[in-house]
Structure 1
Amino acid sequence: MQPNRVRTLRTLAFICLFTGFAGVIYQLINEKHLDHRSVLVGLPLGLVFGLLELFLFPKTERRFQHWSFTKITLFKILLYTAAIYVVSVIMMFIAGLFEHRKISELFVSLASLDQLILVVYTLAIYSLLVFFLHLNRLLGEGILWKFISGKYHKPHEEERIFMFLDMNSSTTIAEQLGHVRFYALLNELFHEISQPVLQTKAEIYQYVGDEVVLTWEVKQGLENANCLKTFFLFQENLHRNSSHYLKKFGVQPTFKAGLHFGKVISAQIGDLKQEIVYNGDVLNTTARIRDACRQYQCECLVSGILMNQLKSMNGFLWERIGATTLRGKETEVELFSVSDIRSL
């Protein structure tokens, strides 16, 4: 099963469990006892919320990507309020039929204070979930949990794979479009890479101008050559939507990438603004490998150290460039050019 699908199903299960637990808490507070109704109410509402949040909104992402955080959050809360009430009404009618209650009694229940309190409580739970999911997305996939768990509270050494992904001819394109339109283009391109990142278990470490820095834990990056697949999936997306970029911006953007792996010091730093940072020569070397793409006229360069770690090379064509001294480095680094066989 694809990593993105696994992630989606895992998130859906978390939402349903969370709402089921919220139903248990509500019944304990309101009725001072527990029965099957608490879970039967919470799980279907969580399922509706999860289907909207994880399946409907991603398919309409381009329509909402220019909305502010506040605007889209309020829109979702209003949508979920309506969905919650409709699902609650349906469930109440179904339960009423099984309990042989009269239709008139059900309409009285719908207008009762208890029903209003239930809707408000449910809305509060989903508002919390919406905020949590948006915060997780703002910080980067998985970063919020790293802050909560304290994984990087103390500096420690680890091995990671890095990719520096950079737009070709960005200065020329920026001069052609002007600053406002250029950053509108960048925003669309950075949305474009989201799906490949999720599919290949990558983390977005930084946006630096027109550059994206991606990173993987070694096991996840090497698995099925995920660290290479990210770049070529992104290239496929750019090619598929090239007519859109040409029509809207008058350009067909392309990117180059450099990949390397090694040891870094990982730590959570800052006071007023906290973030997780990686320090080590591996980042500097990866940036220099990316720069070498122009010299060797390659779209993707990989260090020999990383290439030797990649077990699965199916679907990729490798060409040895040779050992070279990168700008600002004293020791030579062996480089390999990588291409996707399907694009040849």
Structure 2
Amino acid sequence: MFLKEKLKIWFAQIYKSFRYHLIFWNLALFFYLFLTGDQSVFINYFGLLARESVYVNVVFVSVVVTVLFAFWDILVSDRVMRFSPIRTMVFLRSILYFALAFVLLYLAANKNLSFNSVVDYQSFVSHIPDFGLNDVRFFVYFYLACIGNSTFREMYKKIGVGNFFNWFFGRLNKPREEKKIFMFIDMKSSTRRAEQLGHEKFSRLVQDVFHDMSVLYNYQGEIYNYLGDGAVVTWDEHNGIRNTNCIRAFFAFLRVIEKRSRYYRWRYGEVPQFKAGLHIGKVMVLQVGSIRRDISYNGDTINTAARIESKCNEYRKDLLISGVLYEAFEQKDEYNFVKLDAIKLKGKRRPLLVFSVLPKGNKKRKKSKVQY
């Protein structure tokens, strides 16, 4: 199951990376062709295409560049970036950008070269062209496009898939009402753990945890915000309810942490444990701020989900959900839902019905001290 989850995340990341780069580079290179009218870069490299068309050639170059950038994204993951000097990574990126632009111009200037001629060093050097003004323009444009590519991708990842398109088309300028599922997920005994590890090592633990939290995307969840050592995860109503995705996501995350328990014990001395609260309801989504803008969700639903999560300690449960969310599920036979007493939540006038959740057929584990 762990391998399946990891592979699913990996393939999803590859697909999203390839899709993003393909759209971006098609738009960027067609825009360059529109601005300059320079068709010299877009040729049928090594005669790989059966049809001679500048538009087909642009798409072909876009696909080649997309494959290279997608491969770079896989090679230089977030975890690699964390342990690498920033200056080194910026330098390597710049070298990659200029090298790729050089290769495109080199091949475009030597249309009749065979692959064997290119890989031969002496032949390669002898065919280096004298770069003119148009070539310099392409170098500059391509480098700026690469920077824009990285910038837009980070924005895309920060805002989230759904909110990115709403933001891009201006739908968030006015508050909009949406029905959402919210999960507040938090690390147990984080204060004690932070004191034991120290702030630097504890910060690395949080980074590792958030990296493993990417399994939530396998169940259509989107991380709305990170709160210290926890996170706020959202689903739209359909995706969260379907196949009980919002519950399956939490237990999938616990399985990933459990499978990597040896790593966590080796690096941090113990395996982190988590608790979560879930609720569904209507919220207002809007764009806030003028100098620094962000996407914000406002409404009682978020506060209620946070209050439910805070009750996990009192009831010594890992996962609590509201009765409203329980009633929304069409499939209830995959998990054991245990009805608790109506709970008086802070700031709420009326008690709220709450359920604890456990997977069915959950094997009894060896007793261990569980810190809440």
- TM tier, shorter chain? 0.7 to 0.9
Paired with 2:245 and 2:159, the residues of 1 have a C-alpha distance of: 22
Shift of 1:63: 2.3
Paired with 1:336 and 1:88, the residues of 2 have a C-alpha distance of: 63
Alignment-derived partner of residue 307 in structure 1:
326
Paired with 2:105 and 2:230, the residues of 1 have a C-alpha distance of: 47
Q: Is the 1:317–1:341 contact (alpha carbons within 8 Å) kept by the matching residues of 2?
A: yes
Alignment of 1:156-167 (within 5 A): 156-167=176-187
Alignment partner of 2:349: what SS?
coil
Alignment-derived partner of residue 202 in structure 2:
182
Q: Is the 2:276–2:309 contact (alpha carbons within 8 Å) kept by the matching residues of 1?
A: yes
Shift of 1:72: 3.9
Alignment-derived partner of residue 335 in structure 1:
354
Q: Is the 1:315–1:342 contact (alpha carbons within 8 Å) kept by the matching residues of 2?
A: no
Normalised to the residue count of structure 2, the TM-score between the two structures is 0.78
Alignment-derived partner of residue 167 in structure 2:
147
1:316 aligns with 2:335: yes
After the TM superposition, which of the residue ranges 76-85 and 159-168 deviates more from structure 2? 76-85
Q: Is the 1:257–1:290 contact (alpha carbons within 8 Å) kept by the matching residues of 2?
A: yes
Alignment-derived partner of residue 271 in structure 1:
290
Alignment-derived partner of residue 305 in structure 2:
286
Paired with 2:335 and 2:95, the residues of 1 have a C-alpha distance of: 47
Match of 1:226 among 237, 245, 251: 245
Residue 85 to residue 339, structure 1, CA distance change in 2 (3 Å): farther
Alignment-derived partner of residue 48 in structure 2:
none
Shift of 1:166: 0.9
Alignment-derived partner of residue 123 in structure 1:
143
* Cα RMSD after superposing both structures: 3.4
Q: Is the 2:159–2:295 contact (alpha carbons within 8 Å) kept by the matching residues of 1?
A: no
Paired with 1:44 and 1:328, the residues of 2 have a C-alpha distance of: 56
Residue 22 to residue 269, structure 1, CA distance change in 2 (3 Å): closer
Paired with 1:245 and 1:341, the residues of 2 have a C-alpha distance of: 27
Letter in 1 for 2:177: E
Alignment-derived partner of residue 157 in structure 2:
137
After the TM superposition, which of the residue ranges 299-308 and 323-332 deviates more from structure 2? 323-332
Letter in 2 for 1:293: C
Paired with 1:138 and 1:181, the residues of 2 have a C-alpha distance of: 25
- Gap regions ≥5 residues in structure 2: 1-6, 41-52, 364-372
Paired with 1:72 and 1:140, the residues of 2 have a C-alpha distance of: 25
Alignment-derived partner of residue 217 in structure 1:
236
Shift of 1:79: 3.3
Q: Deviations over 1:240-286 (max 9, x none)?
A: 22222222222211000000011112221222222222222212211
- Gap regions ≥5 residues in structure 1: none
Residue 84 to residue 294, structure 1, CA distance change in 2 (3 Å): same
Alignment-derived partner of residue 31 in structure 1:
38
Paired with 2:192 and 2:322, the residues of 1 have a C-alpha distance of: 29
Paired with 1:218 and 1:3, the residues of 2 have a C-alpha distance of: 22
Residue 173 to residue 2, structure 1, CA distance change in 2 (3 Å): closer
Q: Aligned residues: percent identity?
A: 28
Paired with 1:84 and 1:132, the residues of 2 have a C-alpha distance of: 20
Alignment partner of 2:172: what SS?
coil
Letter in 2 for 1:110: I
Residue 148 to residue 67, structure 1, CA distance change in 2 (3 Å): farther
Paired with 1:24 and 1:271, the residues of 2 have a C-alpha distance of: 33
Q: Is the 1:322–1:335 contact (alpha carbons within 8 Å) kept by the matching residues of 2?
A: yes
Letter in 2 for 1:182: F
Paired with 2:9 and 2:269, the residues of 1 have a C-alpha distance of: 34
Paired with 1:81 and 1:313, the residues of 2 have a C-alpha distance of: 56
Paired with 1:203 and 1:232, the residues of 2 have a C-alpha distance of: 16
Normalised to the residue count of structure 1, the TM-score between the two structures is 0.83
Alignment-derived partner of residue 63 in structure 2:
43
Shift of 1:135: 3.0
Alignment-derived partner of residue 64 in structure 1:
81
Residue 206 to residue 41, structure 1, CA distance change in 2 (3 Å): closer
Shift of 1:298: 1.0
